[in-house]
Structure 1
Amino acid sequence: MARSTARPVVTLRSTAGTGVTYVTRKNRQNDADRLVLRKYDPVVGKHVAFREER
């Protein structure tokens, strides 16, 4: 079975500039614009904003 295009895989990159990334899925119907989540950045050692890159 093919995967739906409504929940694509997106890459979240740290806004702290460390190069750390997370991979997740998002619902395009509910979140049409870029996703921003606060997640842990192990290089900085604290939680920072991670922004979706395309």
Structure 2
Amino acid sequence: MKTKIALTALALIALPAVSFAMCSDRQHQAQSCAAGSQWNADTQSCEKVVNS
């Protein structure tokens, strides 16, 4: 019985840390820009699309 309680407590303590580690990567965030512009990863901003 004590083993089950200890394992359950360990799982409940570790779960938030694991989920935070999986979601902390900034590259997975979606960026949306206004119509006629696109996201530039180098400058980290929206830029107008130029059609030649």
TM range (shorter): under 0.3
Bigger Rg, structure 1 or 2: 2
Q: Which has the higher strand share?
A: 1
Greater RCO structure (CA 8 Å; 6+ sep): 1
* TM-score between both structures, scaled by the size of structure 2: 0.26
Q: Which has the higher helix share?
A: 2
* TM-score between both structures, scaled by the size of structure 1: 0.25
